[in-house]
Amino acid sequence: MAYRWINTLTDKDVTPHAAFMNRRQIMGGALAGIGLAGIAGRTSAAPEGLEPNSYEDITSYNNYYEFGTGKDDPARYADRLTIEPWTVQIDGLVDKPGAYGFDDIMQQMTIEERIYRFRCVEAWSMVVPWNGFELADLLNMAGVQSGAKYVSFETALRPDEMPGVAYNVLDWPYVEGLRLDEAMHPLTIMATGIYGKDIPKQNGAPLRLVVPWKYGYKSIKSVVRITLTDTQPPTSWNKANAGEYGFYSNVNPEVDHPRWSQASERVIGGGLFSKRIPTLMFNGYEAEVADLYAGMDVSKDI
């Protein structure tokens, strides 16, 4: 298992884990020159004044409806989830379908640190230092067949461990999907950690998808199945309300949710005084991903 640092923000956008644990403020220039190269040499600059997020922010404020609809429910109840052993079924249009053990997957992947913006459809945001590997590497390991056009994902469904699935909030299990070119994009990762530590259960242990230019609900947690298909797969929020949640779910500040504006976002970490900042097109990754949607009307194909 190899490690490599890749960063698409600047050192000002996130608190290093050691600094967080020691409660010390990083002095100016301490991280100069570390990990500032973006994907393929590109750097995605952060908005001015973006505040860093702590490990506590990231792990205590999030959505994982299988454990409840409150922001603190995942941190309160996700410890019930059994994650060892863990198996991911990879099937459909692949050369080597089968049940892949998590440990076996990790032995074959290159683990990187990716510091990404995270934008929720509910109009809040944070900056997260993920550890993980490119989804493309996992798909290539299974062997993508020429007829594949989409990738679908499925979350674990454990009624005995997940109290939230007793309620008909969504049609369980949670499912998501990407177009194949989105899945193979180098920004798309399967996260296995946060701040260099194993990803907590409330954040989607042991393996979750992260697609930083899309609203957060696309980044499906605790993945147990990945299927390559030639047809667009169903997605949970789209099934629940197609008029509010499209298949693509790209961050677009010019397209409001029917019930609130998406032009700005509330930055988590400031308590009652959390500030709002303008939301960026594709969550700030426009230079990297806009070409994926050439010829599409991103105001309609949401």
What radius of gyration do the chain's Cα atoms show? 18
Q: Annotation-wise, does 65 bind a ligand?
A: yes
Q: Annotation-wise, does 197 bind a ligand?
A: no
Q: Annotation-wise, does 66 bind a ligand?
A: yes
Report which secondary-structure segment, H or E, holds 177. strand 175-179
Q: Distance between CA atoms of 110 and 80, rounded to whole angstroms?
A: 29
Q: Annotation-wise, does 150 bind a ligand?
A: no
Q: Annotation-wise, does 219 bind a ligand?
A: yes
Q: Distance between CA atoms of 245 and 100, rounded to whole angstroms?
A: 31
Distance of CA 140 to the CA centre of its chain: 20
Report which secondary-structure segment, H or E, holds 4. strand 2-5
3 state SS for 201-253: HHHCCCCEEECCCECHHHCCCCEEEEEEECCCCCCHHHHHCCCCCCCCCECCC
Q: Annotation-wise, does 275 bind a ligand?
A: no
Q: Annotation-wise, does 218 bind a ligand?
A: no
Q: Distance between CA atoms of 274 and 121, rounded to whole angstroms?
A: 17
Question: DSSP code of 46?
Answer: P
Q: Annotation-wise, does 285 bind a ligand?
A: no
Q: Annotation-wise, does 208 bind a ligand?
A: yes
Q: Which residue has the tokens 């979750």?
A: 208
Binding residues for Mo-molybdopterin: 62, 65-66, 120, 155, 203, 208, 219-221
Binding residues: 62, 65-66, 120, 155, 203, 208, 219-221
